[in-house]
Structure 1
Amino acid sequence: MSKPTVAVLRPDDNRIDEAVEYLRSRGVSPVADPMLTVCSTGETPTAADYYVFTSRTGVQIAADQDWQPGRATVCAVGQQTASALRVYGHSVDVVPSTFTSAGLVEELAAEVSGATVEIARSAHGSDVLIQGLEAAGADVHETQLYRLERPKSAGRSVSLTIDGQLDGILFTSPRTVGHFFEIATEQDDAAELKRGLEEPVIGAIGAPTARVIRDIGLEINITPDSVDFEQLARLTVQEIRNGASTR
């Protein structure tokens, strides 16, 4: 059996390198096509009683700014975010059992009335956290630490999909999906892209990512029960090989 060819669309930093290395370790021919580049806004978290981080990237940017929580309660959405905070020497007080914004709102709702909450994240976050915490009585402030833009070099995976040369595609965020389809739309290839996506195994991390893909009218083959990239890649490759063995 020949090596499966799988497109990985992670940000153009160490995450794409780690993804490529892992796919190769699974006997896969990876196509690295970063759909995101991180652009810092230069903004810094403001003083608060609670700090909320929603991504490893946000933690890294805050750490580069020498952010310190003082006596504040530190909250993280997801174990990867929490791990990043610990790497920089910060204690993590709250990690919701459901790794979502709604899960954190549920976790904090009973204790934040009258408190100031600082949400330090990307410029593309949903309103779930802000609205939920304000409804619980908190004074909420959001600092947009970074934007996620599309690299000029992105698009190889789109062409390969249209040409029927991919066995699988790994989507890891809603914005990744958006950029992937924007490229096809700009090239007047959206219909061809949808047809090309009927054959590859599609893997998606997280409910928001899966929702965007389904809203476009596509089926998802793999949605792991965690936000771990390696689990996504492993299950997708397994599905590709299972499909090949039954043909």
Structure 2
Amino acid sequence: MNVAVFRPDDERLAEAVALLESLGATPVPDPMLAVEPTGAAPRSDADFTLLTSKTGVELAASEGWAPGDTVLCAIGEATAEACRDAGWTVDRVPEEYTSSGLVAALSEDVAGARVEVARSDHGSAELTDGLNDAGAFVHETVLYELVRPAGAGESAELAADGDLDAALFSSSLTVEHWLDAAREHGIEAAARDGLRSAVIGCIGPPTRETAESHGIDVDVVPKDADFEQLARAAVEER
């Protein structure tokens, strides 16, 4: 079972490959995201600070930032664990690991508060708009940019040849970059056809919505936005 995984080429990709091998699948590592730090750090005067990824936590820490008296919020357990590894206390983790889940968790508490959102350059407007609607004074800091690595697209070639059994999209941007890579290879139509016979897994509702908006049928969305759950569900679905 050939399973494409699109995580950045760091420990996340290595862990994904090891997990898929342990499940009896053949991983097809095809990174669709590369991280380019901006050198920025979150503001230090916010009442609430929201971090949305493990990468963001690590970059903020590398710039010497620390939470201080802010209410520290993490969008999911992986992000929260990275905060704890940095020696920080996490005050809020929403039950639903999405932008809308974080807005719901904070909406009754942020009216009139200064809220710092520190994340990538491709963060959803749903988070900042929702907090603004709740009466917060929102400031956003871009900690890193997400770009498509040169040479990405091996899995699109496999899909075009009918040899891809599953694809695990771990963010909306991985969907868009995969389609871009297929287009650059001149095989978009054939690659799309190949996806129709594969198990398509998306890590959460926003990623599913992006895939479906591009005409990709989604078979698997795990209960939690967790890659291991995604991988296991996709392998079982096949």
Q: TM-score range by the shorter chain?
A: over 0.9
Structure 2 alignment gaps of length 5 or more: none
> What does 1:113-124 correspond to in 2, within 5 Å?
113-124=111-122
Match of 1:31 in 2: 28
**What is the CA deviation profile of residues 79-127 of structure 1, one whole-angstrom value per residue up to 9, with x for unaligned ones?**
1111111111111111111222122222222222222111000001111
Any stretches of 5+ residues in structure 1 without a counterpart? 241-247
Whether 1:46 and 2:43 are equivalent positions in the alignment is yes
Using the aligned pairs only, state the percent identity: 49
Structure 1 partner of 2:196: 198
* Among 64, 70, 78, the residue aligned to 2:76: 78
In structure 1, what is the Cα distance between the partners aligned to 2:193 and 2:102? 38
Residue 63 of structure 1 aligns with which residue? 61
In structure 2, how many angstroms separate the alpha carbons of the residues matched to 1:104 and 1:210?
Answer: 18
| Alignment-derived partner of residue 225 in structure 2 | 227
Counterpart of 1:103, as a letter, is G
Aligned to 2:10: 13
Give the distance between the partners of 2:56 and 2:18, measured in 1 at CA. Answer: 24
Contact residue 156 and residue 191 of structure 2 kept, 8 A = yes
TM-fit CA distance, 1:153: 2.2
Partner of 1:184, secondary structure, is: helix
TM-fit CA distance, 1:136: 2.0
Whether 1:178 aligns to 2:176 is yes
Q: Quote the RMSD (CA, aligned, Å).
A: 1.1
Aligned with 2:91 (options 70, 93, 104): 93
DSSP-derived class of the 2:144 partner: strand
Whole-angstrom CA distance in 2 between matches of 1:103 and 1:236? 24
Amino acid aligned to 2:6 = L
Residues in 2 aligned to 1:110 and 1:33: alpha-carbon distance in whole angstroms:
41
d(CA) in 1 for partners of 2:237, 2:131: 40
* Bigger Rg over Cα: 1
1 CA distance for matches of 2:153 and 2:54? Answer: 25
Distance 1:103 1:232 in 2: 19
Q: Which amino acid aligns with 2:130?
A: G
After TM superposition, the score normalised by the length of structure 1 is: 0.92
SS at match of 2:196: coil
- Conserved? CA contact 2:115–2:138, under 8 Å: yes
1:110-154 CA distances to partner (integer Å, 9 max, x unpaired)?
Answer: 222222111000001111221222222221110000011001021
Report the 3-state secondary structure (helix = DSSP H, G, I; strand = E; otherwise coil) of the residue aligned with 2:109: coil
Shift, 1:29, TM fit: 1.3
**1:155 and 2:161 aligned:** no
Residue in 2 that maps onto 1:142: 140
Q: For the residues of structure 2 that align with 1:125 and 1:91, how far apart are their CA atoms?
A: 23
What amino acid is aligned across from residue 13 of structure 1 in structure 2?
A: D
Give, as a single letter, the amino acid of the residue that structure 2 aligns with 1:237.
Answer: V
